[in-house]
């Protein structure tokens, strides 16, 4: 019996230790040529639909986006190229209505940070839809998947209840284009992201009013063979890449609108 306990301990301990090493290596790798967290602009804008498609006098759609450095604008030199504004522009073009968008993302944020630090900043009834893009830092920091599931579900319920609006969750992307992570580290991080991504999908299905967008499927494959899609640090998307993400997110945002 004692021998079985030892074997079980090794079976659990070795993978956990390995994940810990991967997390440290990933953190070191992404700090190499890391872009500054302060992008030098406020992530907010009012965008109008494309000429000829505008609904004159239409009430603006109010969209908030929460998340990590990708929501904070890291990787885009201008606010117009940011994920928040590109998503807002696509929503405006699809609906014929202007969109007022705000980004509350913080570099380095994980799922638990969205719940405890970003969601409380949102005023009840102030937004028509909330988009959350999170999970990459949970992956590189090896947040345990058994805790990540509960954190994701709690975060989504908290955001929905805080604002009283539908929520769109953008899932963890693929890391295949993140050259800041050398191989085989990049492949290991991608493998660790899979159960976390499944947890995001399942949590979204369990919380009313939440839609899941699988960025890894709907946007990440478009990065292949497009070097301009990644920023100079080899970890964050550039405006072209954020456009791929926005293409995936916008239809879900439009569908979620009341």
Q: Which domains does the chain have, with CATH numbers?
A: 2-256 (3.40.50.1110)
Kindly report, residue by residue over 119-136, the tens digit of the pLDDT: 999 999 999 999 999 999
- Least confident interval from 61-75, 81-95, 177-191, 192-206: 177-191
Amino acid 24: pLDDT: 45
Distance between CA atoms of residues 242 and 73, nearest Å: 9
- Least confident interval from 54-63, 94-103, 157-166, 249-258: 54-63
Amino acid 191: pLDDT: 95
Distance between CA atoms of residues 248 and 246, nearest Å: 5
Q: Write the CA distances from 49 to 56, 99, 185, 230, integer angstroms.
A: 10, 8, 42, 27
Strand, coil or helix: what is 122? coil
> Does the pLDDT value for residue 157 go beyond 70?
yes
pTM of the model: 0.87
Residue with tokens 């659990």: 12
- pLDDT band of 56, cuts 50, 70, 90: low
Distance between CA atoms of residues 45 and 240, nearest Å: 19
Buried b or exposed e, range 143-173, using 16+ CB within 10 angstroms? beeeebbebbbbbbbbbbebbebbbbbbbbb
Kindly report, residue by residue over 202-253, the tens digit of the pLDDT: 999 999 999 999 999 999 999 999 999 999 999 999 999 999 999 999 999 9
For residues 204 and 210, the answer to whether their CB atoms sit within 8 Å is yes
């Amino acid at each position: 019996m004692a021998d079985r306990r030892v074997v079980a301990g090794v079976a659990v301990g070795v993978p956990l230790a390995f994940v810990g090493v991967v997390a440290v290596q990933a953190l070191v790798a992404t700090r190499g040529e890391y872009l500054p967290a302060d992008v030098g602009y406020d992530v907010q804008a009012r965008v109008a639909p494309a000429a000829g498609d505008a609904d004159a006098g239409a009430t603006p759609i109010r969209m908030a986006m929460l998340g990590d450095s990708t929501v904070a604008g890291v990787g885009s030199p201008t606010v117009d190229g940011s994920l928040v504004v590109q998503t807002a522009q696509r929503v405006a073009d699809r609906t014929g209505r202007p969109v007022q968008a705000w980004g509350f993302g913080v570099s380095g944020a994980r799922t638990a940070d969205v719940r405890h630090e970003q969601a409380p900043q949102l005023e009840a009834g102030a937004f028509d839809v909330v988009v959350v893009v999170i999970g990459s830092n949970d992956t590189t920091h090896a947040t345990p998947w058994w805790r990540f599931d509960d954190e994701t579900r709690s975060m989504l319920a908290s955001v929905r209840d805080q604002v009283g609006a539908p929520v769109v969750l953008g899932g963890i992307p693929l890391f295949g284009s993140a050259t800041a992570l050398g191989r085989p580290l990049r492949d290991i991080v991608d493998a660790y992201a899979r159960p976390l991504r499944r947890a995001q999908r399942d949590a979204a299905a369990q919380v009313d009013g939440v839609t899941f967008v699988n960025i890894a499927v709907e946007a990440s494959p478009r990065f292949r063979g497009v070097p301009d899609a990644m920023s100079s640090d080899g970890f964050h998307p550039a405006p072209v890449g954020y456009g791929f993400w926005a293409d995936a997110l916008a239809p879900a945002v439009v569908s979620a609108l009341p």
